[in-house]
Amino acid sequence: MPEERTDTELLIASRTEPEAFTELYRRHAEDLLRYFARRTLDPETAAELTAETFAEAFASRASYRDQGVNGVAWLYGIARHRLGRFFRNGKVDAAARRKLGMPERDLPPEDYERIEDLIDFAPIREALAEALETLSPDQREAMRLRVIDGLGYAEVAERLACTEQNARQRVSRGLRKIALLLQERGMQLTTEVEA
Amino acid sequence: MNTDIRSLQLLERDLEDVATRERERLVSVDRALDGGHGGPRRLPRRGRGGGHAWGGIAAALVAVLVLAGGIGFLAQGGSSDDSGGGESRAAIDVDSGADGGGAGAGTGGSESGPQATMAPAPAEAPAGDASYLSDEALGNLSESERAAFVGWSLEAGRNAGAPGVAQGVGAVPKQQGDLTKIIRDGRIGIVIADGSFSKGVAGVTQIARRNGGFVLESSSRDERSGALTLRVPAKNFDDTMLALRALSGQLDGEVEFQDITGQDVTAEFIDLQARLDILKDRRELLLDIQADATSTSEILRLAALIDDVQLQIENIQGRLNFLKDQVAEATIKVEVRERDVQREDPGSDPENPSLADSFELAVQGFLRIIGAVVVGLGYLIPLGVIALIGWGVVRLVRRRDRGAN
């Protein structure tokens, strides 16, 4: 059985074997999504940032040089840069995906809860409760039901008398707003050690 | 992929599509590089952007060097003038310049130094200025030749006023009070009628004698062509050159080329003279001290010092004597050949350089360009460092801003 290549080797090999990059993606996609989700608190934004980071990494893989920085650290360097831009601009750029001809996909409904599961709300629950006051009444109620009370989207939709998709959007936008707000106040949004 | 997150699965598929397209692109590039011959696929030698990056670096380097060369060229005065500090050169293309008269001669490729200057000839130069030109010499020149020659003649050696200030052609030369020291050299090539080489050599010798000079050395080939080196008093330099030009006319010939140079050694002369005076004073002082010395060791030490000063005095005196000799007598190299004989060294003709001379010119040109680039880099590097520091500061400020956000 051939020896598994390291992340750095995969990244270097991907210059001439583009398929090697997808192996690198498989190894780190979920971790990177969690990284973004715990910092943005928003599944949509986290998914977009993940896609944009991998697209940019693929487009600029030829510029990677093995000079003591391993492949994953280089990938997370791009991720941090992307995250910083999001917090500055309040939106996710899609330039790298457009450059590679990749589609800009909407988040599938089933992924909202799945990605929220990656977010550990416990350490920031108190801060969240304070930040809720800055949201619109619809978003605040959806957030309270989903994040504070821990209800599923079906129940949230039933309580708010709206569709499930609408409930997801309210929570998602509310979370995004809160994440930006907490970032502005200099609050740490994760207790996890970065890669 | 071991994840149940649908968006990650979709993203994986999108990346696989991108990788497939990239693979196809690389294959097509390889095929193009292979010239369309099939065979096993070779992987690209570099990453996607590697070749472009090196190309960009090379282009930037070339641009910087060209820019540096341009700046260096401008910094050096925007010309390729390589004349030395006090040296002037004047060359006549006889075929084209002489017929053009004085005004025409003044347009062709002259190089002027700061000290010895050339006086443009008036269009109607006084043809019979007996105090300046010999009648014989003038009589054998056409009006245009006379104007052309005088127009290119170096006047600095004749000036009685400020060094290097040219006088008019008709001005009477004065030597009194003239501190200017100029070494004058000339080259002239004469083509004469077939069978008249002996007459030509005799004529050149006679001209040297008549002007108070002599033939320093001579050589000939098949009694049909040869070269002579004349030494004549500097004050007779112009008359000698004119007489040599006239000689070509007398022997049914023509002047093939003419080259006159003047090297101003006034500054060196004055400097040497001053150093000589100081050393002589020091020698006198040491001799006085030695006369009063009482101990043997002191006498010996002073003797060594006096010997050292004396040696320096002799060196300087020797150099002064050499300069005086060079200033007092001009050197003229004359090439004489019959019309049917090819020039032995055509490369010495500035209008018709040989392959060796061309190579030498090319090397000089190359070195000149390198010199200009080096000078230009001297301007660019400090500017580049300042720009780099500015860029670093801007980047630092931006990073701080990001950190603050």
Q: Radius of gyration of chain B from Cα atoms? A: 36
Searching chain A, which residue's CA lies closest to the CA of residue B41? A16
CB-based burial of residue B325 (10 Å sphere; 0-12 exposed, 13-18 middle, 19+ buried)? exposed
List, for residues B234-275, the tens digit of each pLDDT value.
889 999 999 999 888 888 888 989 988 888 888 888 889 999
Surface of B (44-63) touching A: CB under 8 A: 44, 46-50
The answer to whether B255 and B189 are in contact (CB under 8 A) is: yes
Q: What is the pLDDT of residue B118?
A: 36
pLDDT value for B249: 86
Counting one residue from chain A and one from chain B, the pairs whose CB atoms sit within 8 A come to 98
Looking at residue A88, its pLDDT comes to 85
Take residue B368 and report the two structure tokens written for it.
């000149």
Is B335 exposed, middle or buried (CB count within 10 Å of its CB: 0-12, 13-18, 19+)? Answer: buried
Q: What is the pLDDT of residue B1?
A: 67
Q: What six digits make up the tokens of A39?
A: 């910092």
- pLDDT of the residue at B99: 39
The CA distance from B299 to B297, in Å, is 5
| ipTM for the whole complex | 0.79
- For residue B9, the model assigns a pLDDT of 92
**Residue A74: exposure state from Cβ atoms within 10 A (0-12, 13-18, ≥19):** buried
Q: If you count them, how many residues does chain B have?
A: 405
* Closest Cα in chain B, distance from residue A150 (Å): 20
**Residues lower than pLDDT 50 in chain B:** 38-50, 79-88, 90-135, 137-138, 145, 147-177, 347
Chain B residues lying within 8 Å of A18, measured CB to CB: 18-20, 22-23, 26
Query: Is the Cβ of A113 closer than 8 Å to some Cβ of chain B?
Result: no
| pLDDT for the residue numbered B344 | 62
- Cα–Cα dist A97/A52, whole Å: 6
> Closest partner residue to A105 among B4, B10, B50, by Cβ?
B10
3 state SS of B361:
helix
**CB–CB of A31/A195 below 8 Å?**
yes
Nearest residue in chain A measured CA to CA from B53: A63
- Residues in chain A with pLDDT values less than 70: 1-2, 122-123, 125-126, 185-195
Q: What is the pLDDT of residue B353?
A: 65
Task: State the smallest CA–CA distance between residue B366 and chain A in angstroms.
Answer: 37
Give per-residue burial for A161-188: e unless 16+ CB within 10 Å, then b: ebebebbbbbbbbbbbbbbbebbeeeee
pLDDT at B82: 43
Contacts of B26 in chain A (CB under 8 A): 16, 18
pLDDT of residue B335: 92
Q: What are phi and psi of B220, to 5 degrees?
A: -140, 160
Q: Give pLDDT, residue B17.
A: 93
Nearest to A92 by CA among A57, A165, A27, A43: A43
Record the pTM. 0.39
Closest to B181 measured CA to CA, from B165, B163, B166, B155: B163
